[in-house]
Chain A
Amino acid sequence: MSIIEVDALTVRAGAKALISNVSLNVEAGTWCTIVGPNGAGKTTLVETVAGLRRAAGGSVTITGRPLDAMNERERARVVSLVPQHPEVPAGMTVKEYVSLGRSAYHGLLRAPSARDRSIVDSVVERLSLQEFAERDVVTLSGGERQRMVLARALAQSTMVIVLDEPITGLDLRHQMDLLELLKTQVEECGLTIVATMHDLTLAGQFADRLVLLDRGAVVLDGPAAVVVRSRELSQCYGIDLRVIDVDGADVVVPVRS
Chain B
Amino acid sequence: MALVTILTLIGLCVAVVCGLAIGPTSIGTQRILGSVLSRVGIGHSTLTSLQYSVVWQLRAPRLVLGLLAGAMLSVAGGTYQGVFRNPLADPYLLGVAAGAGLGATFAIMDIGNGTYTPTWTPLLAFAGAMVAVAVTWIIGGRGLRSNASTLILAGVAVSALLTSMQTFLQQQASAQSIARVYIWLLGSLASASWSSVDLVLPYVLVCTTICVLAGRALDVMSVGEDESRSLGVPVRRVRFIVIGASSLGTAAIVSAVGLIGFVGIIVPHIVRLLVGTSYRRILPISVAFGAAFLVFADTIARTVIAPSELPLGVVTALVGAPVFVLILSLRKQLVR
Q: Do B234 and A90 touch across chains, with their CB atoms under 8 A apart?
A: no
Cα separation A90 to B235 with both chains bound (whole Å):
20
Contact of B213 with A by CB under 8 A: yes
Q: Do B216 and A108 touch across chains, with their CB atoms under 8 A apart?
A: yes
Q: Do B230 and A81 touch across chains, with their CB atoms under 8 A apart?
A: yes
Interface residues of B in 199-251 (CB under 8 A from A): 213-214, 216-217, 219-220, 222-224, 226-227, 229-235, 238
Looking at the complex, which one of B219, B227, B229, B276 makes contact with A51 (CB distance below 8 Å)?
Answer: B229
Which of chain A's residues have a CB closer than 8 A to the CB of B278?
A: 91-92, 96
Q: Do B232 and A90 touch across chains, with their CB atoms under 8 A apart?
A: no
Looking at the complex, which one of A52, A71, A80, A109 makes contact with B213 (CB distance below 8 Å)?
Answer: A109
What is the chain B residue whose CB lies nearest that of A87?
A: B224
Q: Do B227 and A75 touch across chains, with their CB atoms under 8 A apart?
A: no
Looking at the complex, which one of B222, B231, B233 makes contact with A89 (CB distance below 8 Å)?
Answer: B222
Minimum CB–CB distance from B150 to chain A (whole Å) comes to: 16
Which of chain B's residues have a CB closer than 8 A to the CB of A77?
A: 232
Contact of B277 with A by CB under 8 A: yes
Q: Do B227 and A86 touch across chains, with their CB atoms under 8 A apart?
A: yes
Q: Do A72 and B223 touch across chains, with their CB atoms under 8 A apart?
A: no
Looking at the complex, which one of A52, A83, A103 makes contact with B232 (CB distance below 8 Å)?
Answer: A103
Contact of A166 with B by CB under 8 A: no
- Number of B residues contacting the other chain (C-beta, 8 Å)? 22
Cα separation A73 to B238 with both chains bound (whole Å):
13
Q: Do B231 and A103 touch across chains, with their CB atoms under 8 A apart?
A: yes
Which of chain B's residues have a CB closer than 8 A to the CB of A91?
A: 276-278
Known contacts A103-B232, A103-B233; 8 additional CB pairs below 8 A are A52-B229, A75-B232, A76-B231, A90-B277, A92-B222, A96-B278, A101-B231, A104-B231
Can you spell out 14 A-B residue pairs with CB atoms less than 8 angstroms apart? A50-B230, A72-B232, A72-B235, A76-B230, A77-B232, A87-B224, A87-B227, A91-B278, A92-B222, A100-B223, A103-B233, A104-B231, A104-B232, A156-B231
Minimum CB–CB distance from B224 to chain A (whole Å) comes to: 4
Residues of B within 8 A of A (CB): 213-214, 216-217, 219-220, 222-224, 226-227, 229-235, 238, 276-278
What is the chain B residue whose CB lies nearest that of A155?
A: B231
The winner among A83, A89, A92 for most chain B CB atoms within 10 A is A89
What is the chain B residue whose CB lies nearest that of A152?
A: B231
- Number of A residues contacting the other chain (C-beta, 8 Å)? 30
Cα separation A86 to B227 with both chains bound (whole Å):
8
Using A72-B234, A90-B277, A109-B213 as known contacts, say yes or no to A100 and B220 having CB atoms under 8 A apart: yes
Which of chain A's residues have a CB closer than 8 A to the CB of B227?
A: 81, 83, 86-87
What is the chain B residue whose CB lies nearest that of A85?
A: B224
Using A72-B232, A91-B276 as known contacts, say yes or no to A108 and B226 having CB atoms under 8 A apart: no
Q: Do A87 and B213 touch across chains, with their CB atoms under 8 A apart?
A: no
Which of chain A's residues have a CB closer than 8 A to the CB of B224?
A: 87
Cα separation A75 to B226 with both chains bound (whole Å):
13
Which of chain B's residues have a CB closer than 8 A to the CB of A108?
A: 214, 216-217, 220, 233, 238
Minimum CB–CB distance from A35 to chain B (whole Å) comes to: 23
Minimum CB–CB distance from A110 to chain B (whole Å) comes to: 8
Minimum CB–CB distance from A91 to chain B (whole Å) comes to: 3
Cα separation A89 to B221 with both chains bound (whole Å):
10
Which of chain B's residues have a CB closer than 8 A to the CB of A51?
A: 229-230
The winner among B219, B220, B223, B231 for most chain A CB atoms within 10 A is B231
User: Could you mark each residue 121-136 of chain A with 1 if its beta carbon is under 8 Å from any beta carbon of chain B, else 0?
Assistant: 0000000000000000
Which of chain B's residues have a CB closer than 8 A to the CB of A86?
A: 223, 227
Which of chain A's residues have a CB closer than 8 A to the CB of B220?
A: 100, 103, 108
Using A87-B223, A89-B223, A92-B222 as known contacts, say yes or no to A52 and B230 having CB atoms under 8 A apart: yes
Q: Do A83 and B277 touch across chains, with their CB atoms under 8 A apart?
A: no
Minimum CB–CB distance from B25 to chain A (whole Å) comes to: 46
What is the chain B residue whose CB lies nearest that of A76?
A: B232
Which of chain B's residues have a CB closer than 8 A to the CB of A88?
A: 223
